[in-house]
Every structure is written in structure tokens, then in C-alpha cells.
């Protein structure tokens, strides 16, 4: 038994479970709830971003997941040179990895945008100024545009990683 592979698989799989689960929970439940609950939701979001620093935790977790996956892929593909890469399993993991990287990039944009939203929100005392309102609207537009990319890439990365061993191309 190769203890390094076991540790890397645990880091990769557990990290992906947390990353994907948290991202989808945020997309499908937490963000809509924040939007639907007005000031209470905004206070919760400010705490989540400014105090709990969830975006930083998610980024570190995603980076650990990707790094562990990259090392595992490197080992399985014999340094990106083996015929395994052209097998159904290799292609499935490759497609999953590409979607994972897209999820990472879109998640980073999502996290930074949420952090910026929290910063702007924390500056507002009473009614927002026209400049603050414009900033909020621009950030919300960015979040609305990146959300489908993030959600889809997370789901596809999870699907391909989970099924890669059984795919035939």
C-alpha cells in the first residue's frame, strides 16, 4: 500500500466533497435565502464573509483539492506520458479536472466578488450613496453572470470524477 496515494486520495476526495457541497449549498440555498431575507440576510452574509472568511477557507480547500488531484493524476499518468491518459478513465479524469479548474477560477471570481460585496456593504451607514449603489449593482451583476458557470462546472467536475473509472470513449 502506498501511504502517499492514500493520503492524497483522502485530501482530494474529502476536499472535493466539502468544496462541491459547500459551493452548491451556497448556490442553491444560502444565496437565495440571503436575497430573500433583506437586512437579516445581508447581516448574515456580512458575517459569513467579513468574520467567518468563508471565501478564504473555500479557496484554500479548493487549492488543496486541486493540488492533491494533480499529484494523483501525475502519478497515474506516469508524468502525463502513459497510454492511461487516452483510456476512458484517463479521459474522464481529464474532463473532470478541466471542469474542476473552471470551477476553481469561477469560484475565485465568485469569492472575490462576495468579499467585495461584504466590504461595500460594511461601509454603508443607512441609505447607500449613488456610488455605493452602483458598486453593489455591478458586483451583483458579476455574481449573476458567474453563477451559472460556477454551478455547472462544479456539477460536471463532480460527475466526471465520480464516473471516470466507468467511462468508455
Give residue-wise pLDDT tens across range 27-55.
Answer: 999 989 988 998 888 889 888 888 899 98
pTM of this structure:
0.89
Angle in degrees, CA 166, 167, 169, rounded to 5: 150
Q: Where is 106: in which H helix or E strand?
A: helix 88-123
Mean pLDDT over residues 114-126, rounded? 84
For helices 54-76 and 88-123, what crossing angle results, to 10°?
Answer: 170
Per the structure block, which three cell numbers stand in for 168? 468508455
- pLDDT given at position 9: 96
| Per-residue confidence band for 15, with pLDDT thresholds at 50, 70 and 90 | very high
Amino acid at each position: 500500500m502506498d501511504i502517499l496515494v492514500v493520503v492524497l486520495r483522502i485530501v482530494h476526495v474529502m476536499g472535493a466533497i466539502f468544496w462541491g457541497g459547500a459551493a452548491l449549498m451556497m448556490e442553491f440555498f444560502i444565496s437565495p435565502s440571503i436575497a430573500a431575507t433583506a437586512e437579516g440576510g445581508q447581516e448574515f452574509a456580512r458575517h459569513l464573509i467579513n468574520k467567518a472568511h468563508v471565501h478564504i477557507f473555500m479557496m484554500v480547500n479548493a487549492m488543496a483539492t486541486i493540488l492533491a488531484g494533480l499529484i494523483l493524476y501525475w502519478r497515474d499518468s506516469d508524468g502525463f506520458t502513459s497510454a492511461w491518459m487516452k483510456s476512458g478513465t484517463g479521459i474522464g479524469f481529464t474532463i473532470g479536472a478541466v471542469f474542476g479548474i473552471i470551477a476553481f477560477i469561477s469560484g475565485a471570481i465568485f469569492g472575490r466578488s462576495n468579499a467585495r460585496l461584504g466590504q461595500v456593504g460594511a461601509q454603508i451607514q443607512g441609505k447607500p450613496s449613488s456610488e455605493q449603489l452602483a458598486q453593489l449593482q455591478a458586483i451583483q451583476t458579476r455574481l449573476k453572470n458567474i453563477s451559472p458557470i460556477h454551478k455547472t462546472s462544479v456539477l460536471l467536475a463532480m460527475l466526471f470524477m465520480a464516473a471516470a473509472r466507468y467511462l468508455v470513449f
